[in-house]
């Protein structure tokens, strides 16, 4: 290499934040030694180089899956620039795929990695929660996709069952209950009550490890027996579960393959959602961001630790948020699970894939039915797409009752997703504007999850 040549390739420029003073600063996106970094300089706090993505090749190709975002009604104006105008402001580029309501700040754990920095006392009133759901519905033009009921620990809310019922009555499509599993492990009657919501209801269960040392480190308590018991109770009442694992390099990244395997082998676990640690909330002051694991770091662990059963190429960037979410779906073929992406070239079907995190065979059928009299190319795409999905959705699926459909999907499909949030270190304005998980606040705003935890949480 000539002595005057830089040791990186300049890819793009963007706006970032200084993690010290949170001022907006210019940043370069660069490719260096095969990985992608953000290079930025704050007048006051100096120069920084932050790892964005371990596999530069994945980063550079992910735009091939990008598609236009969907519109959602804004609640604020454009005044101070992103991320200070949340939100949503009219400049946000993606609708609310996931609306999240924190029904309480209270929690029965005190985790080191708590984005919500929970622990304060108090529950939101039932009426306020109803208003927040109405805002979600109204801003999504009556079609709210996924509501995550979260906290703190939402199962501590004295009206949690009524809250879930309310969401169902308001016709929010899917309800997810984010929980650490403590109440689910200890209160079987509660689990029985939850079972009334089966079909478009799922438990998002915090599940980081099989090792009590990791729980002690992450969550301040040995929790493995509690997680086991919670899963046993949920399986007893056939309630679908997604395991949600926070991953930290050098702590539990060696368990990623084992977590997927455990999910595949356990009935009613429908998927695993891996989340690389983000440096906000209680982690905000800890500058360990250079040692972060990224989306592709997790994909590499999956390929290696599962001996190629799921490979790098089985993952695609999620078309509605290519920067921050990677996903693969597996379907049961006799006794094994096979990634669906091996038989579908997803890029060909981008126009017919909705801007949503949820894969729902009935949505695909609905789109086909609505467009069946149309003669455009996209209608042919729909039909072709359905043909490709045939092994995953047999024709008799659509004749089943809602409960049978839920059981069929639980037993025959499995989702592995990796969601990487934006913190003040890896802040790239483009990624920020496309984020689709939005916190619905009591003052009736919708604030992207990362922006909320970085700067807007009081
Ligand atoms: S994150 Fe979205 S809502 Fe917030 S200021 Fe940026 S564009 Fe607006
Ligand atoms: S991360 Fe979840 S379980 Fe842990 S303290 Fe925060 S709200 Fe509670």
Distance in Å, CA 107 to ligand 2 centroid? 6
54 lines ligand 2 (CB under 6 A): no
User: Residue 425 and residue 290: Cα distance in Å, rounded?
Assistant: 9
Omega before 88 within 30 of 0, i.e. cis: yes
Identify whether residues 321 and 450 lie together within a single domain. Answer: yes
82 lines ligand 1 (CB under 6 A): yes
220 lines ligand 2 (CB under 6 A): no
Rounded to the nearest 10 degrees, the angle between the axes of helix 377-388 and helix 361-371 is 150
- Our mutation pick for probing the ligand 1 site, out of 91, 454, 455, counting the most ligand atoms within 8 A of Cβ, is 91
111 lines ligand 2 (CB under 6 A): yes
Number of CB atoms found within 10 A of residue 225's CB = 11
Identify whether residues 251 and 389 lie together within a single domain. Answer: no
Whole-structure pTM over 0.85, yes or no?
A: yes
428 lines ligand 1 (CB under 6 A): no
User: Residue 426 and residue 404: Cα distance in Å, rounded?
Assistant: 43
User: Residue 36 and residue 61: Cα distance in Å, rounded?
Assistant: 12
Q: Evaluate if residue 371 carries a pLDDT over 60.
A: no
Distance in Å, CA 454 to ligand 1 centroid? 12
Identify whether residues 320 and 420 lie together within a single domain. Answer: yes
Identify whether residues 124 and 241 lie together within a single domain. Answer: yes
What helix, strand, coil percent values describe the chain, rounded to 5? 35, 20, 40
Residue 44 lies in a domain: no
Distance in Å, CA 20 to ligand 2 centroid? 25
User: What tens digit of pLDDT does each residue of 260-279 get?
Assistant: 999 999 989 999 999 999 98
Identify whether residues 232 and 378 lie together within a single domain. Answer: no
Identify whether residues 109 and 174 lie together within a single domain. Answer: yes
Selection from 173, 231, 175 nearest residue 205 by Cα: 231
User: What tens digit of pLDDT does each residue of 167-222 get?
Assistant: 999 999 999 999 999 999 999 999 999 999 988 899 999 999 999 999 999 999 99
How would you classify residue 245: left for phi > 0, otherwise alpha for psi between -120 and 50, otherwise beta? beta
Q: Is 149 within 8 Å of 167 (Cβ atoms)?
A: yes
Identify whether residues 299 and 354 lie together within a single domain. Answer: no
Identify whether residues 365 and 438 lie together within a single domain. Answer: no
Tokens of 148: 């995550």
**Ligand 1: which atom is nearest the Cα of residue 87?**
3
Give the closest ligand to the alpha carbon of residue 81: 1
Q: Is 342 within 8 Å of 316 (Cβ atoms)?
A: no
Give the distance from CA 271 to its chain's centroid: 12
Number of CB atoms found within 10 A of residue 347's CB = 10
User: Residue 187 and residue 374: Cα distance in Å, rounded?
Assistant: 52
Question: How open is the CA angle 16-20-25, to the nearest 5 degrees?
Answer: 25
Residue 176 lies in a domain: yes
User: Three-class SS string for 317-365?
Assistant: ECCCCCCCEEEEEEEEECCEEEEHHHCCCHHHHHHHCCCCCCCCHHHHH
Distance in Å, CA 236 to ligand 1 centroid? 42
User: Residue 343 and residue 345: Cα distance in Å, rounded?
Assistant: 7
User: What tens digit of pLDDT does each residue of 335-369 get?
Assistant: 888 888 887 777 766 665 655 555 555 555 555 55
- Beta-strand pair 174-179/201-206: parallel
**Ligand 1: which atom is nearest the Cα of residue 448?**
1
Residue 275 lies in a domain: yes
Q: If you take atom 7 of ligand 2, which residue's CA is the nearest one?
A: 152
Residue 25 lies in a domain: no
Q: Evaluate if residue 373 carries a pLDDT over 50.
A: no
Identify whether residues 405 and 419 lie together within a single domain. Answer: no
**pLDDT value, residue 372:** 46
Selection from 272, 285, 280 nearest residue 413 by Cα: 272
User: Residue 388 and residue 412: Cα distance in Å, rounded?
Assistant: 16
User: Residue 10 and residue 29: Cα distance in Å, rounded?
Assistant: 6
Identify whether residues 176 and 202 lie together within a single domain. Answer: yes
Which residue, chain included where needed, has tokens 């754990």? 109
User: Residue 241 and residue 93: Cα distance in Å, rounded?
Assistant: 30
418 or 374, which is more confident: 418
What CATH number does residue 285 fall under? Answer: 3.20.20.70
Percentage of residues in the chain with pLDDT exceeding 70?
86
**pLDDT value, residue 417:** 95
Which of 394, 410, 426 is the last residue in one of the domains? 410
Residue 166 lies in a domain: yes
Identify whether residues 354 and 276 lie together within a single domain. Answer: no
Residue 68 lies in a domain: no
Identify whether residues 278 and 405 lie together within a single domain. Answer: no
Q: If you take atom 4 of ligand 1, which residue's CA is the nearest one?
A: 86
107 lines ligand 2 (CB under 6 A): yes
Give the closest ligand to the alpha carbon of residue 106: 2
Omega before 83 within 30 of 0, i.e. cis: yes
Tokens of 172: 């929010």
Distance in Å, CA 447 to ligand 2 centroid? 20
Distance in Å, CA 255 to ligand 2 centroid? 21
What residue numbers bound the domain in which 248 lies? 79-326+415-456
Q: If you take atom 7 of ligand 1, which residue's CA is the nearest one?
A: 92
**pLDDT value, residue 407:** 74
CB-facing half-sphere around the CA of 256: CA atoms within 13 A: 30
Tokens of 41: 């300089």
118 lines ligand 2 (CB under 6 A): yes
**pLDDT value, residue 445:** 97
Q: Is 166 within 8 Å of 192 (Cβ atoms)?
A: no
User: Residue 200 and residue 405: Cα distance in Å, rounded?
Assistant: 10
114 lines ligand 2 (CB under 6 A): yes
Domain tally for the chain?
Answer: 2
Kindly state the DSSP code that residue 87 receives in the 8-state scheme. B
Per-residue confidence band for 3, with pLDDT thresholds at 50, 70 and 90: confident
**pLDDT value, residue 238:** 93
**pLDDT value, residue 335:** 80
């Amino acid at each position: 290499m000539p002595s005057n040549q830089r040791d990186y390739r300049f890819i793009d420029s963007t706006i970032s934040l200084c993690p010290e003073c949170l001022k907006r600063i210019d940043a370069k996106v660069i490719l260096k030694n095969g990985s992608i970094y953000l290079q930025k300089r704050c007048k006051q706090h100096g120069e920084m180089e932050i790892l964005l993505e371990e596999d530069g090749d994945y980063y550079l190709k992910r735009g091939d899956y990008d598609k236009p975002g969907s519109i959602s009604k804004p609640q604020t104006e454009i005044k101070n620039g992103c991320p200070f105008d949340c939100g949503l402001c009219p400049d946000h580029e993606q609708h609310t795929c996931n609306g999240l309501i924190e029904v309480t700040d209270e929690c029965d754990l005190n985790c080191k990695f708590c984005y919500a920095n929970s622990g304060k006392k108090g529950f939101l009133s039932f009426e306020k929660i109803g208003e927040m759901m109405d805002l979600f519905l109204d801003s999504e033009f009556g079609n709210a996709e996924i509501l995550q009921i979260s906290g703190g620990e939402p199962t501590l809310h004295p009206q949690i069952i009524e809250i879930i019922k309310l969401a169902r009555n308001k016709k929010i499509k899917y309800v997810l209950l984010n929980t650490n599993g403590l109440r689910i492990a200890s209160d079987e009657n509660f689990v029985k009550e939850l079972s009334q919501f089966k079909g478009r209801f799922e438990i998002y269960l915090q599940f980081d490890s099989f090792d009590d040392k990791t729980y002690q480190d992450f969550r301040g308590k040995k929790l493995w027996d509690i997680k086991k018991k919670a899963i046993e109770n949920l399986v007893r009442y056939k309630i679908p579960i997604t395991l949600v694992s926070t991953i930290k390099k050098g702590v539990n990244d060696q368990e990623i393959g084992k977590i997927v395997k455990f999910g595949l082998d356990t009935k009613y676990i429908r998927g695993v959602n891996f989340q690389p640690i983000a440096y906000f909330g209680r982690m905000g002051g800890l500058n360990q961001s250079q040692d972060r694991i990224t989306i592709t770091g997790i994909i590499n662990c999956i390929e290696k630790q599962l001996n190629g059963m799921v490979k790098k190429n089985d993952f695609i960037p999620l078309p509605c948020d290519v920067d921050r979410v990677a996903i693969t779906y597996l379907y049961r073929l006799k006794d094994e699970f096979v990634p669906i992406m091996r038989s579908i070239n997803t890029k060909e079907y981008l126009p017919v894939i909705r801007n949503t995190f949820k894969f729902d065979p009935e949505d695909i059928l609905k789109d086909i039915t609505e467009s069946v009299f149309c003669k455009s190319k996209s209608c042919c795409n729909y039909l072709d797409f359905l043909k490709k999905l045939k092994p995953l959705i047999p024709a008799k699926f659509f004749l089943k009752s809602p409960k049978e459909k839920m059981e069929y999907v639980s037993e025959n499909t499995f989702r592995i997703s990796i969601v990487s949030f934006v913190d003040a270190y890896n802040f790239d304005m483009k990624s920020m504007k496309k984020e689709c998980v939005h916190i619905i606040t009591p003052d009736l705003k919708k604030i992207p999850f990362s922006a909320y935890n970085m700067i807007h949480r009081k």
